[in-house]
Structure 1
């Protein structure tokens, strides 16, 4: 009998286990993960060609939980500030870039040049031209009700505020797509504030998976914590008379007094114990993501003078990742664009992917790039969660912490974070909320 079973060894489940160890090391915990490694979407891939982030790519400097965890683990000195420069390159087969608010479609009002000048002065000379349009959406959203915004996508809201040309320009140059067409406008606008170029973002020298490795090393020292890898939970049964859970893994049953499911939406849908809250789960939409990295010969490197850019073809976003090593994130895409890359790779292989990368890059930069020496594709079927149209993120997030009152079954993960979807911070925030409920329970096993 375990005190607590944590199902899911991604960052939310791992952090939950780590915090239990820190606060109550005598608590007997079982952590179950279906993959052969812990950390989930925090995964630093390494081979002889490159060391790159397959999943989570950066840290938001203003998010206190993740920054605090990094400091606690002694990793702060490894943070590297990211450049805020990003431009737009229309896929029209020439080398032009657009990096001023005046490059976006205009309304031709008397004050518009002044507004564009102020935006460019605040955010710098290399900022996406849509910045002014986004700020307009954020400002005008203050005059709309929360309910209206929750019941429309950001694109639908933008169509009420901006011209058709301006909306299409945002779709083409923003880089991200799901935020525009899946997420409700209320939560999308909150997310846009997090993505603002005025914020500071960091990568980590040596990779973000060091966060995972440090926590794993610490919890493995605790004899009261067991870890199961390559094991998938098939069923959770609550024995009400005894107030215990039977957790089934293949043909083995494990029992616990409290159960934490640190799982994304699709995994919860596969467990019958969550059938009664399916309407809640359907308020969260899962979005696909795809990162493609290529390595090129460092001699006469074609992207050494190229800034991070967005573009209106399947590349979507291009980030000169490690120019000194000849490595570039040659495409970062979501939604239908991510799905196209995955479909092409599965159907025709890496050579077809490389051919298309070269074709699209020629259209976006006017440069006929050489064939990559090596390319890696990382596709995530449920890369991040989005609050869908009709979702009240505050209400759903609160209910998901403990879906059934008086039953010690808990849920955490960035999918269910009110304000932290798509960030490590969201996973940590929901885990902390679960831990708070665990700690104040009448028969708490955690001695905080």
Structure 2
């Protein structure tokens, strides 16, 4: 009897919470921050399975060079992100980045070359598609198609193959729900938009949030949710904290983790069909540092972003002074090629082969280092043939006192902004 009383005392006094938030990425951290701004009367636990907070918002260091290996640019029109940065006193540290792109196409067919003369970039193809659709009396249900399927249907196969060559991303075209993709392309990829990076990189956002939360909530790294059980109006959670399993109870449970993590929880099996309406896609970023030439300049000095139809696909200069560049950035199906080359120890050879094709007369200098970052669940995308607004409402508050949020099930997928969407949940927690 004495042992039972002691166990009850420990659970209820040290392992009992008003709110448990699972996932210490930008979504979980920001939700905690928004809660404590409104009230200090809730006992909150935030757990993260990794040994760092931030998730896919990750700044890496290689020797003395630092760069964002996860979330990259910040959009000036993303209101939640900008507001958060201002509150954290980080907006003053922003630098506007060059939004220009150099498109180098080397595999065009004769028919595609004709298209290229009239439509030199994807934005021009995109607006041609919208124009064609707007002319129709019987307009299609955009959500039932991908962008590539719409291009094939209304512009033709050659325009579709050309679009994949001239646009830098795969998933938005070939995988994402067409209605959502059109919204996102209009908002984030067309017109004159301002984009920024932070002087101290994106992990500075995470560090600031950690400071705000310190001593106000309980925060645990190396902690993974293993099991969910519901007993009356409370959740009993089995959590592995530093290799030790503990039972924690909570009035409310919020899950901000990636979809693969949700799939591991047996309790959510009954919701699997609903949760599968958003799917992850890989991202592969490779950074390199090059030596400088006799003029003390990097080989890419003065170059903007480069989009190409070669496997290298997308090149983004990071720091021309230090010689750091994202030498290839691929997503979705495009990642398979480079992952295969890496696994066969052929990556460097094929990288240099592509670079020589793009810049045959350039002396690239010496590669000081290469840093590979393959994100299996780099970003998430709504699949076709669903009503996204309806699905989001269902998932956000999937059952009484259980909420699911984050970039995975947001209206701004693949952006920090998506992870910050929490207004509808916040009002139910306070």
TM-score > 0.5 by shorter chain? yes
Q: 1:147: Cα distance to partner?
A: 6.5
Unaligned runs of 5+ in 1: 94-102, 117-127, 439-445
Q: Per the alignment, do residues 346 and 183 of structure 1 end up closer, same or farther by CA in structure 2, a change over 3 Å counting?
A: same
Q: 1:143: Cα distance to partner?
A: 5.5
2:115 maps to which of 106, 110, 134: 106
Q: 1:107: Cα distance to partner?
A: 9.8
Q: Does the aligned pair in 1 maintain the 2:169–2:331 contact within 8 Å?
A: yes
Aligned alpha-carbon RMSD (Å): 2.1
Partner of 1:221: 215
Q: Does the aligned pair in 1 maintain the 2:133–2:154 contact within 8 Å?
A: no
Partner of 2:52: 37
Task: Please tell me whether residue 171 in structure 1 is matched to residue 164 in structure 2.
Answer: yes
Q: Could you tell me the TM-score, scaled by structure 1's length? A: 0.85
Q: Does the aligned pair in 2 maintain the 1:260–1:410 contact within 8 Å?
A: yes
1:159 maps to which of 129, 135, 152: 152
- Between the aligned partners of 1:63 and 1:154, the Cα distance in structure 2 is 23
Partner of 2:428: 437
Partner of 1:416: 409
- Between the aligned partners of 1:157 and 1:50, the Cα distance in structure 2 is 43
Deviations 1:164-192 (A, max 9, x none): 33221110110101111111211111111
SS at match of 1:232: strand
- Between the aligned partners of 1:332 and 1:347, the Cα distance in structure 2 is 19
Q: Does the aligned pair in 1 maintain the 2:293–2:365 contact within 8 Å?
A: no
* Map 1:160-239 → 2, pairs under 5 A: 160-193=153-186, 194-222=188-216, 225-239=217-231
Q: Which has the higher strand share?
A: 2
Number of residues of Structure 1 aligned to a counterpart in Structure 2? 402
Partner of 2:11: none
- Between the aligned partners of 1:146 and 1:191, the Cα distance in structure 2 is 20
Task: Please tell me whether residue 13 in structure 1 is matched to residue 13 in structure 2.
Answer: no
Task: Please tell me whether residue 244 in structure 1 is matched to residue 234 in structure 2.
Answer: yes
Partner of 1:124: none
Deviations 1:178-219 (A, max 9, x none): 111111211111111121141111111110111110010110
Task: Please tell me whether residue 2 in structure 1 is matched to residue 22 in structure 2.
Answer: no
- Between the aligned partners of 2:128 and 2:173, the Cα distance in structure 1 is 15
1:319 maps to which of 311, 316, 328: 316
Q: Per the alignment, do residues 379 and 19 of structure 1 end up closer, same or farther by CA in structure 2, a change over 3 Å counting?
A: same
SS at match of 1:88: strand
- Between the aligned partners of 1:141 and 1:422, the Cα distance in structure 2 is 26
Q: 1:293: Cα distance to partner?
A: 0.7
Q: Per the alignment, do residues 282 and 337 of structure 1 end up closer, same or farther by CA in structure 2, a change over 3 Å counting?
A: same
Q: 1:416: Cα distance to partner?
A: 0.6
* Map 1:19-168 → 2, pairs under 5 A: 19-91=34-106, 105-106=114-115, 129-142=121-134, 148-168=141-161
Q: Does the aligned pair in 1 maintain the 2:129–2:154 contact within 8 Å?
A: yes
Partner of 2:378: 383
More deviation in 394-403 or 83-92? 83-92
Q: Could you tell me the TM-score, scaled by structure 2's length? A: 0.89
- Between the aligned partners of 1:387 and 1:80, the Cα distance in structure 2 is 31
Unaligned runs of 5+ in 2: 1-15
Task: Please tell me whether residue 308 in structure 1 is matched to residue 323 in structure 2.
Answer: no
